[in-house]
Amino acid sequence: MIQPRIYRVMYRSGHNGKLVKVITKVPYSGVYALTETLTRAMTTGEIIYMSVAPAKAGEITPGVRKNLERWPVALRKSSEKTGVVWTS
């Protein structure tokens, strides 16, 4: 079984302008779906900036690793601060 990768997803809300950084698990098969969801959010004006990159070793502390969640859950939780509505 291929293990999920850990990515750093950053986006800026189109509602309040907040920049959010989310460290999340993305399985190999989920990278396309994540990118598609972020692109759809940019097209609809929910977000105005996005960046997806593998997380650096220094960002994955034991506390972060313990609380890692898959990307749909992590994005949904981050939207509590930003008001972004994620559609898939």
In the chain, where are the structural domains located?
5-82
Residue 41: what pLDDT? 94
- Residue 2's pLDDT band, with cuts at 50, 70 and 90, is low
Q: pLDDT of 5-47, one tens digit each?
A: 999 999 999 999 999 999 999 988 888 999 999 999 999 999 9
**Token pair belonging to 15:** 């509602």
Q: pLDDT of 40-55, one tens digit each?
A: 999 999 999 999 999 9
pTM for this one?
A: 0.86
Backbone angles phi, psi at 54, to 5 degrees: -60, 140
User: What HEC string does 13-54 produce?
Assistant: ECCCCCEEEEEEEECHHHHHHHHHHHHHHHHCCCEEEEEEEE
Residue 86: what pLDDT? 86
What is the rounded CA–CA span in Å between residue 3 and residue 28? Answer: 8
Max Cα–Cα distance, the chain, nearest Å: 40
What is the rounded CA–CA span in Å between residue 79 and residue 88? Answer: 15
